[in-house]
Amino acid sequence: MARRPSGLIKACPTKCIGGYAHSQRSLNEEQLARIPEDILGWVKGYLRYCTYCDAVWEGRGSFKKLHGFLKGEKFTPSKGFLG
């Protein structure tokens, strides 16, 4: 059984293999332009991006909501809630 290194915290709500806090970041302006306006309107400041699995998610404390995946030029929305 693989053990995760001590001191690393999982942050990505998809529970991907590489979704540790150090691989999460804010979206840049080009990436934000690809996110639908209905999502951006109320969560822009809370959106995070997993550099490992390309997940775009909202994080407010312990609340996490997956909004979709951004791969290259294409954003694929998700209806899932992971909290």
Given a cut of 60, is residue 69 above it in pLDDT? yes
Going through 1-83 in order, the beta strands assigned E by DSSP cover: 24-25, 47-50, 55-60, 63-71, 74-77
pLDDT > 70 in the chain, percent? 83
Range of the domain at 43: 23-77
Q: Look at residue 1 and tell me if it is in a domain.
A: no
- Say whether pLDDT at 2 is over 80: no
Cβ atoms of residues 46 and 59 within 8 Å: yes
> Is residue 40 a part of any domain in this protein?
yes
N-to-C CA span, the chain: 26
- Tell me: pLDDT of 70 over 90: yes
Total domains in the chain come to 1
Is 10 domain-assigned? no
Write the CB contacts of 68 (distance below 8 Å, at least 6 apart in sequence): 39, 55, 56, 75, 76, 77, 78
Higher pLDDT, 30 or 61: 30
Least confident of 3-12, 27-36, 49-58, 63-72: 3-12
Model pTM score? 0.71
- Residues 41-55 have a mean pLDDT of 84
Fill in the amino acid letter for 57. Answer: W
Task: State residue 57 phi and psi, 5-degree precision.
Answer: -140, 160
Question: Is there a domain that residue 56 lies in?
Answer: yes
Would you say residue 11 lies in a domain?
A: no
Question: Which pLDDT score is estimated for 17?
Answer: 86
